[in-house]
Structure 1
């Protein structure tokens, strides 16, 4: 039995979208062409992969069993083309959480990871879809549950977080702050907290009762809004280069120090050699720069590592 990878790709995309119209659009083909490819695949396999009905499209039991190896087949097909042509194309890497400048971490390892083609920045749901669709090879940002079962991730950096506030804030002159000292302030967020998991978890953990949402127009605009109101504060990873905003103060947080966990994410089964180089370069830099140090008596993570201390392992979800 010879599988047609175009038919397999049509199935995988439809299984991820559970909508033939959206799947066809993402493949730049007509819905009729997509339906024909899936019908031919079902005929070849001798079983139905989708249950179609008035309530929409869903996978049959056979379709659910077929999906993981179908994804692996597409990955192997791409690897075979690369091996035959000898072309080591750039690794396509996107980021999310761009207000916190994730590219600065990738830039530190890019020279050792081989050619990379960076993306423009998305949110985590968009990155998840792009990874599953094969539009990108890897992504970098903060992972929080639930992560799609078809993806793998590895924590590569735990970065201390500072409080940012205006010079008129009552705590602006303090050399360091405890997170609970901020509970009476207004946590200023660059979007809805249900989409900003780290800030939401911080507010819950340290009893910040008042939060307010801004429009994300970039870091300089956002921090200018923080500095303009003496009640406001926000959180920024300590190594993020801050723009020159008049009256802005950055104060380290201690007892505990919040840590922002950066993870590399890729589609399970992706064997692109550039991905192996990138993960190895991240691990090497993490060891050299002590990126993964975590002490539960000193630090706070929304989802601490399963081993409870020492350093964060690669399988944690933070």
Structure 2
């Protein structure tokens, strides 16, 4: 067989014509030396193996084997192709494994790494160290965008608040309220309520509560709109959002500004700030985190996560708590 075929067909055309089954047949014959044994390994007929090898040689434009009484022997071209053929098969197997449920990481979206669901995922990972977990942030600006990512297969699940009734969710999308995060009042040492051990929502009327970064149209905007409307609170959203560190800087110096933060939200600040986290009672406002997933997702890690959440204690805070009407009826994860 002549190498002139290389001149007739461009390299991209040859690559596109490569058949994965023919490459596997080539490796089987190279390893076993006999077409019959290669056929047994592959579970096909000897004639099929011969046809696949002939097809591969035709595409490559070279002879890969020389047949002898002692079996098939690799030609010089066959020896040159051998390591690349192994790499092709290994790469294909890794590609398939990367998308097979149970072989790739479970992809879960959270709003950021400091809030309650991120802590829940850390606890889950400690309980199930063998389940590979990929925790993502910024998948979508709101719940609708995160659900679209689930439908597209970009992520397996997300933790968000769900303001939409279950009957209005897209087909196959499931949502369950799984984690309540009680709000606390965060103040600096000069605030009038700084020395209080606990406050009520009534105590906060007329006070300046500053929560920068509330984006209109998001689920957390809906939460704070409902909270402020029901308890006549003044929640200011003015000014650019420079992040948590800037918020802490301002609160540490302000005699009038306070903020609301989740009890489960991790925050660190210099000791000199002397910030205070104060419990809110009668009722305690809690932010309802939902787990959202697609019911047809077969990833075993998702099953483990849902089972872990069902068995985890204190998923919903007992006692006198407040949640928006749209989150008042928790469902089973």
Structure 1 unmatched runs, 5+: 1-80
Aligned residue among 203, 212, 222 for 1:197: 222
User: CA 1:86 to 1:135, structure 2 compared with 1: closer, same or farther past 3 Å?
Assistant: closer
Q: Does 1:291 align with 2:309?
A: no
Structure 2 unmatched runs, 5+: 1-95
Aligned partners of 1:229, 1:149: CA distance in 2, in Å?
45
Q: Does 1:266 align with 2:304?
A: no
User: CA 1:82 to 1:143, structure 2 compared with 1: closer, same or farther past 3 Å?
Assistant: farther
Aligned partners of 2:148, 2:100: CA distance in 1, in Å?
28
Aligned residue among 168, 178, 199 for 1:156: 178
Note if contact 1:91-1:117 (Cα within 8 Å) is conserved in structure 2.
Answer: yes
Where 1:277 maps in the other structure, the secondary structure is helix
TM-aligned CA deviation for residue 240 of structure 1: 2.2
TM-score, normalization by structure 2: 0.60
Q: Does 1:127 align with 2:151?
A: no
Which residue in 2 is equivalent to 1:282? 309
CA deviations on 1:131-190 (whole Å, 9 max, x unpaired) are 121111111133323674242111111122111112221111111000121121222123
Where 1:187 maps in the other structure, the secondary structure is strand
User: CA 1:200 to 1:133, structure 2 compared with 1: closer, same or farther past 3 Å?
Assistant: same
Aligned partners of 2:298, 2:108: CA distance in 1, in Å?
15
Which residue in 2 is equivalent to 1:300? 322
Note if contact 2:114-2:267 (Cα within 8 Å) is conserved in structure 1.
Answer: no
Where 2:240 maps in the other structure, the secondary structure is coil
Which residue in 1 is equivalent to 2:206? 184
Where 1:184 maps in the other structure, the secondary structure is coil
**Which protein shows a greater Rg?**
2
CA deviations on 1:210-264 (whole Å, 9 max, x unpaired) are 5233434432222223333222222111132321151321100001011121221
Which residue in 2 is equivalent to 1:91? 106
Which residue in 2 is equivalent to 1:118? 135
Which residue in 2 is equivalent to 1:25? none
Aligned residue among 244, 268, 279 for 1:219: 244
User: CA 1:213 to 1:132, structure 2 compared with 1: closer, same or farther past 3 Å?
Assistant: farther
More deviation, 115-124/162-171: 115-124
TM-aligned CA deviation for residue 303 of structure 1: 2.7
Q: Does 1:207 align with 2:232?
A: yes
Q: Does 1:247 align with 2:269?
A: no
User: CA 1:105 to 1:220, structure 2 compared with 1: closer, same or farther past 3 Å?
Assistant: farther
Where 1:119 maps in the other structure, the secondary structure is strand
User: CA 1:227 to 1:142, structure 2 compared with 1: closer, same or farther past 3 Å?
Assistant: farther
**Number of residue equivalences:** 226
RMSD: 2.8
CA deviations on 1:80-133 (whole Å, 9 max, x unpaired) are x77996852111111125563531121111234521111133432432221121
User: CA 1:292 to 1:304, structure 2 compared with 1: closer, same or farther past 3 Å?
Assistant: farther
Which residue in 2 is equivalent to 1:54? none
Structure 1 outlier segments of 4+, above 4 Å: 81-87, 304-307
Aligned partners of 1:257, 1:160: CA distance in 2, in Å?
6
Where 2:192 maps in the other structure, the secondary structure is coil
